[in-house]
Structure 1
Amino acid sequence: MKSDAILKADVLDIIFENKNKLYGAYALRKFYNNRLYKALVAMFGLVIIFISLSFIKKTSHVIFNTGGTICILSAPPKNKILDKKKIEIQKPNAFTKPLPAHSTQALPTNIKIVNKTDVEKIQNFNPNIQISDVDFIGIPDVVAKVNTELTKGLDTLATKPIPKIFVDKETPTEIAEVMPQYPGGMQALRKFLENNLHNPQDLDEGQIIAVKIKFVVGYDGKLKSFEIEEDGGKAFNNEVIRVLKIMPQWIPGKSKGENVSVYNTIPVKFVATE
C-alpha cells in the first residue's frame, strides 16, 4: 500500500493488506457495526410488540379450567331484561281448618281454689273459658307401679357391692400416686447416709467419685433389686449398696389406696477428706 493511501485507509485494510479478504474474517470485522445495529433494532421491535399485546383488551368470554374440560361462559344479552311485573308469587292453595271450639281451653292468669261451688264467690273467673266436652281419665295405678319398680331398682343398686380395682403390688412402677419416702423425710435420709457411708479407698485432693444406685421400694417398705446406673468402681458401688441394705424400711408408695412397689434412685458422691 502506498504511503499516501495509508492515511485514508481503514485499520482493517491495513491489517488485511496482501491477505485473502474473501475468507470471511475481513467481512465479519468490516460489517460488524451494521449487524449490531440490525440486531438492536429487531430486539427493540419485539419488545414493543410484546408490550403492545399486553395492553390489548381481552375478549368478553371467561374460560375456566375444570380438570380437562374447558367451559366458555358468556354474558347474557343486555337488551333482555326481566319484566318485574310478570313475576308473581303463587299463593298456597291449601286451606287449614281451625280446630274445633271444644278442643281448646284458655287458662286464667290466676287460679284460686275455694271451698264452695257458688259462682258468685269465685274470684278472678274468666267468662271466656271454654270447657272441653272430652273426658280424660287418669292412670294413677300405672304411675304408682312405675315408681315402685324404680324404687326397687335403686334399692338393688345400693345393695350391690362396688367392685374392687385390682392393683399389682409386686410389679414395680416408675411413678405412683403417693411416692415412697424415707421415715423422717429427705433430711433424715441425708443424715443416715452421711453417718454410715465411708470412703473405701483413699482419694486424691479434689477427686470426686459419683455413684448412682437404682432400687425398688417394695409394697412392704423393704429395699431390693439394686442396679448400678452410674458406676464409680466396684469398691464404691458395694459401699453404697451395703448402706442401702442396712437402711430401715421406707414408707411404701400407694396407688388407688393400695401399697405398691416403686423404683427409686439415690446419687452419692465420694470426695477426699482433709
Structure 2
Amino acid sequence: MKVVKILLFVLFPMLGFSQIDGEDEVYLNGDLIEAKFNGGGIDEFTKFIRKEFDYSKVTKAGKMVGAFTIDKDGTVKNIKIIEFFDVESATEFIRVLKICPKWEPAKRGGKPISIEIKYPMVFRKK
C-alpha cells in the first residue's frame, strides 16, 4: 500500500505537465490547417529540396531524417538531423533548409501556430 501511495504521489503531478500537441488534435476538436509551402503541401517542398539539394554530396545509399519547426511567421527554425548515414549528406540537407523560403504557417482556430515537421530522404545507389 505504501508503494502505491508513493507511485501516486510521484506520477500524479506529472499529469499536470503533459503537453498537448499535434496528435491530440482529434481530442481538442481543433480545426488544424496544415502549413503550406509555395501554395502547396509537402509535394511542393519536395520539389524545392530536389531542385536545391546537391546530390554530388551523397556518397552512399541510405536514409536520412531531418526535423524542423515552421514558426508562427512561416520561418524554418530548429533544424536538426534525427537519422543520417554520412555527414556530407546531412550537412547539405541543413544547408538547403537554411535557404528555404518562408512557409504559410499552420493554423489552429484561425491563428498561426508553430509545428514540427519530420522529413525523410532515401538515397539509392545508382
Fold match (TM-score > 0.5): yes
**1:236 shift after superposition:** 1.1
Q: Relative to structure 2, which stretch is displaced further, 217-226 or 251-260?
A: 251-260
TM-score, structure 1 as length reference: 0.33
User: CA–CA distance in 2 between the matches of 1:270 and 1:240?
Assistant: 12
**1:272 shift after superposition:** 3.5
TM-score, structure 2 as length reference: 0.67
Indicate whether 1:226 and 2:54 are aligned: no
**1:201 shift after superposition:** 4.2
Aligned partner of 1:188 in structure 2 is 44
User: CA–CA distance in 1 between the matches of 2:37 and 2:46?
Assistant: 10
User: CA–CA distance in 1 between the matches of 2:101 and 2:81?
Assistant: 21
Q: Give the secondary structure class of the aligned counterpart of 1:190.
A: helix
Residues 192-223 of structure 1, C-alpha deviations (whole Å, 9 max, x = no match) = 111111231443xxxx2211011100000000
Aligned partner of 1:247 in structure 2 is 100
Select which of 22, 27, 30 maps to 1:174: 22
Select which of 109, 121, 125 maps to 1:268: 121
User: CA–CA distance in 2 between the matches of 1:201 and 1:179?
Assistant: 31
User: CA–CA distance in 2 between the matches of 1:234 and 1:210?
Assistant: 12
Residues 65-110 of structure 1, C-alpha deviations (whole Å, 9 max, x = no match) = xxxxxxxxxxxxxxxxxxxxxxxxxxxxxxxxxxxxxxxxxxxxxx
Aligned AA (1:222): T
Q: CA RMSD in A?
A: 2.1
User: CA–CA distance in 2 between the matches of 1:237 and 1:194?
Assistant: 15
Residues 107-134 of structure 1, C-alpha deviations (whole Å, 9 max, x = no match) = xxxxxxxxxxxxxxxxxxxxxxxxxxxx
User: CA–CA distance in 2 between the matches of 1:255 and 1:188?
Assistant: 22
Aligned partner of 1:237 in structure 2 is 90
User: CA–CA distance in 2 between the matches of 1:236 and 1:227?
Assistant: 13
Structure ID, larger Rg: 1
Aligned AA (1:196): E
User: CA–CA distance in 2 between the matches of 1:254 and 1:211?
Assistant: 28
Does the C-alpha gap of structure 1 residues 256 and 184 become closer, same or farther in structure 2, counting only changes over 3 Å?
closer
For structure 2, the 5+ residue unaligned runs are: 1-20, 26-31
